[in-house]
Amino acid sequence: MASFTPAYIKTRDLGLLKEKIDHAYEILEACALCPRGCGVNRLSGEKGICRTGEHAIVSSYSPHFGEEDPLVGNHGSGTIFFARCNLLCIFCQNYDISHEGEGVEFSSEQLAKAMLFLQGRGCPNINFVTPSHVVPQILAAVNTAVELGLRVPLVYNTGGYDRSETLAVLEGVFDIYMPDFKFWDPRVAEQLCDAPDYPEVARNAFREMHRQVGDLVLDEHGIAQRGLLIRHLVLPEGLTGTREVMHFLAKEISANSYVNIMAQYRPCGRAADVPELRRRITDEEYREAIEMARKEGITRLDERKRTFVFQWM
């Protein structure tokens, strides 16, 4: 198989990466990076819902072995966890990071060095977790990192609440998009993250991501090189609308979509505020979610064993 060259290499060589960086930072002057559209001038220190100013806040960076097999390889996915979030689900399992902002401000140079550190550890990709509110900072760091020798694919690991216009800026930079389709019902999205437009925004975002990178492509070792890797976290009492989500993916994105139907929900953050969220999902709820996916035409499912789920009362 021919050697793989990440898209951002060509984009930078053509001089387009610098244009993308300039455009992204212009957006920060009246921030409309994400659907919240706060309109604050983050370059002057103002902060909107994501509580992030000019610099990204990094909670941690390290090889991570808990991601999907196509990302992990032998050395772990090179994850960089950003603090704060534009979606702020009340049940977030990283509540201390997303809501409380646990982390340290990083310059673009520091972020670039973190990327090179992870590549040096043998990670097959750099996996940006919760990147939607720090797109300009990531682009600037990638530009610096390329000069220092970055050569592995980049993963955009998002909750799916992304403006298509912002994603368009990322075309030719990210080879792998990994969004989670969280909720189908606008009423559920409003209750759990104060974003009733989430379902519509996510549908448009998925269309744009797939337009850019297509279905997930693996190398001869089973490692992801390019494409869309979709997550869907099953919540109790059918709150996620699994059947509708899978129907949309099969009919409007691709029946060959690689989907990880996730079972690891546990009550975190302010989950106790919602009676339905006060327990883990049952084995039956998970089996039903898998069956719904297959019936709707999604059969390329992540195959990892589910060993930790039990009935929680």
- Token duo for residue 37: 């559209």
Q: What does the angle CA 283 – CA 287 – CA 293 come to, to the nearest 5 degrees?
A: 150
Contacts of 86 (CB under 8 A, 6+ apart): 33, 34, 35, 36, 49, 50, 132, 133, 161
Examine the pLDDT at 313 and tell me if it is beyond 50. Answer: no
Neighbouring C-alpha atoms within 13 Å toward the C-beta of 195: 25
pLDDT, residue 262, reads 97
Q: Which amino acid is at 195?
A: A
Confidence at residue 78, expressed as pLDDT on a 0 to 100 scale: 98
Cβ-based burial of 270 (10 A; exposed 0-12, middle 13-18, buried ≥19): middle
Mean pLDDT of 215-235: 97
Give residue 303's pLDDT.
Answer: 79
Q: Per-residue pLDDT tens for 82-112?
A: 999 999 999 999 999 999 999 999 999 999 9
pLDDT at 26 over 50: yes
Q: What Cα–Cα distance (Å) separates residue 254 from each residue in 62, 214, 257?
A: 32, 9, 5
Beta strands 217-218 and 56-64, pairing class? unpaired
pLDDT confidence bin for 1, thresholds 50/70/90: very low
Helical (H) or strand (E) element with 106? strand 104-106
Percent of the chain with pLDDT over 90: 95
Q: Report the pLDDT averaged over residues 17-34.
A: 98
Supply the DSSP string of 6-25, one letter for each residue.
-HHHHHHHTTHHHHHHHHHH
Q: Name all contacts of 99-104 with Cβ < 8 Å and 24+ positions apart.
A: 99/269, 101/51, 101/57, 102/59, 103/57, 103/58, 103/59, 103/60, 104/57, 104/58
For residue range 235-283, list pLDDT tens digits in order.
999 999 999 999 999 999 999 999 999 999 999 999 999 999 999 999 9
CA angle 136, 83, 262 (to 5 degrees): 105
Structure confidence by residue, pLDDT tens digits, 141-178: 999 999 999 999 999 999 999 999 999 999 999 999 99
On the question of pLDDT at 65 being above 90, the answer is yes
Does residue 304 register a pLDDT over 90?
no
Q: Mean per-residue pLDDT for 16-45?
A: 97
Domain boundaries defined on the chain: 7-209+217-225
Q: Is the pLDDT of residue 311 over 50?
A: no
Q: 7-209+217-225 sits in which CATH class? A: alpha beta
Model confidence at 307, pLDDT cuts 50, 70, 90, reads: very low
Return the half-sphere exposure (C-beta side, CA atoms, 13 A cut-off) of residue 221.
10
**Confidence check: pLDDT of 308 > 50:** no
Token representation of residue 221? 């070792």
pLDDT band at 2 (very low <50, low <70, confident <90, very high): low
Percentage of residues of the chain with pLDDT beyond 70: 96
Predicted pLDDT of residue 99: 96
Spatial separation of the C-alpha atoms in residues 303 and 296, rounded to whole Å: 18
Q: What per-residue confidence (pLDDT) applies to 222?
A: 95
Q: Is 309 exposed, middle or buried (0-12, 13-18, 19+ CB in 10 A)?
A: middle
Average of per-residue pLDDT values in the chain: 95
Residue 91 DSSP code: T
Q: Could you tell me the maximum CA-CA distance found in the chain, to the nearest angstrom?
A: 57
Give residue 312's pLDDT: 34
> 309 vs 9, which has greater pLDDT?
9
Res. 186 pLDDT band, cuts 50 70 90: very high
